[in-house]
Amino acid sequence: MRDKPGGAAAAIATWFGCGYSPKAPGTAGSLGALAPAVLLAQYGGFRPWHFAVLAAAVTPAAIWAAGRVARAWGEKDPSQVVVDEVVGQWVTLAGAAALDWKSWLAAFVLFRFFDIWKPFPVRRLEALPGGLGIVADDLAAGVYGALVLFAAGCFNFY
């Protein structure tokens, strides 16, 4: 096992340890994004659009942390860096018509689908330098997920 960089960069990049999951760290990161999102919606009154604002607010720190950890480990996009999944998952949630168990599940599945498939131009965004490339493709996958989730809500699919 490689040395873990310490400090704030590692905490943010691994989303407080979610990225150290031995199986499917990206999925663990997405679930790690949903846990506080559910709490914010239930107890903080967050509406779907609040998650777009939250993603925008966290994105600069995500880019910084992802880039710093990637450099420390000498890898372009370490699997343990999952803060990109967090902001992408929140972008997808922003497309929900309402927040209920169906929309939470749909947002999770849609984001994971687009994050793994990486349709055009998502895959190209990975070529951007440093933390920007790590995070940008997940933001774009989140936009695709949000659009599908929004359309599904318009047709009362959840």
Mean pLDDT, 10 residues at a time, the chain of 158 residues: 71 97 97 98 98 98 97 95 98 97 98 97 96 98 98 93
Q: Angle at Cα 83 formed by Cα 29 and Cα 89, nearest 5°?
A: 60
Residue 128 lies in a domain: yes
Kindly state whether residue 2 falls inside one of the protein's structural domains: no
What DSSP state is assigned to residue 18? G
Domain containing residue 39: 7-154
What's the CA gap between 61 and 151, in Å, rounded? 30
Does residue 28 lie in a domain region? yes
* Exposed/middle/buried for residue 86 (C-beta within 10 Å: 0-12, 13-18, 19+): buried
> In this structure, is residue 91 part of a structural domain?
yes
Q: How many CA atoms lie within 13 A of 56 on its CB side?
A: 7
Q: What is the pLDDT of residue 4?
A: 58
Instruction: Please state the pTM of the whole predicted model.
Output: 0.95
What's the pLDDT score for residue 113?
98
Measuring CA to CA, which residue among 39, 35, 148 is closest to residue 96? 148
Q: Is residue 39 part of a domain?
A: yes
Residue 69's alpha-carbon distances to 17, 31, 77, 93, 118, in angstroms, are 13, 21, 9, 27, 23
Q: Taking a C-beta distance cutoff of 8 angstroms, is the pair 84, 107 a contact?
A: no
Answer whether residue 74 is part of any domain.
Answer: yes
Based on the structure, what is the number of domains in the chain? Answer: 1
